[in-house]
Amino acid sequence: MALKATIHKAHLSISDLSRQYYGSHSLTVALHPSETEARMMIRLLAFALYADKELKFTRGLSSVDEPDLWQKSLSGELLLWIDLGQPDPRRLRQACGRATRVVVVTYGGRAAETWWQKNREELSRNRNLTVLQLAAAEPMGLGAMVSRNMELQLTIDEGSIWLSDDRRTLEISLGKWQG
């Protein structure tokens, strides 16, 4: 019998000073059995960074043909493709051909840096690709914020994200490697 996803509810209050975006989103997020809680929280961070009423979570880990998040126009055109981790450059090249904008949110400290150094030249050919990097220590603190029902406040400004729940606040550094 296959393991089932664990369902989490998250209410995000987002103040993105860089984009002048202020909004609230009530989301249902499935934690895939092979996914860590920290990775699920990084998906929520990625949502907050590009928040829009049309931005949606996809089947993600359950589908090789879909990113973690995407945004489509009303006519079905793929406007934004967001992947997490260290995706294969071929996958990103194909995504850049399908979507107007492609974003990778990478994390994992040394592993992410090694992936970037190995693939930087090839990825730089994709003009519609943005590569963001979360600082190494943050993913562990993110996992500690997970609960089945989350009330999260996010303030985003100039490469920093302040993420708060009712118990703690994390400051997350976000670097831009490309884009």
How do residues 77-121 score in pLDDT, each as one tens digit?
Answer: 999 999 999 999 999 999 999 999 999 999 988 999 999 999 999
6-178: CATH, from 3.40.930.10, 3.40.50.11310, 3.20.19.10, 3.10.640.10: 3.10.640.10
* CB neighbours of residue 1 within 10 Å: 3
114 vs 40: CA distance, rounded Å:
23
Domain segments of the chain as ranges: 6-178
pTM reported for the whole predicted model: 0.93
Q: Residue 71 pLDDT more than 70?
A: yes
Mean pLDDT over the full length of the chain: 92
- Spatial distance between the Cα atoms of 110 and 21, rounded to a whole number of angstroms: 32
Q: Which residues of 41-55 are buried (b: 16+ CB within 10 A; e: fewer)?
A: bbbbbbbbbbbeeeb
Q: What is the pLDDT of residues 8-48, one digit of tens each?
A: 999 999 999 999 999 999 999 999 888 899 999 999 999 99
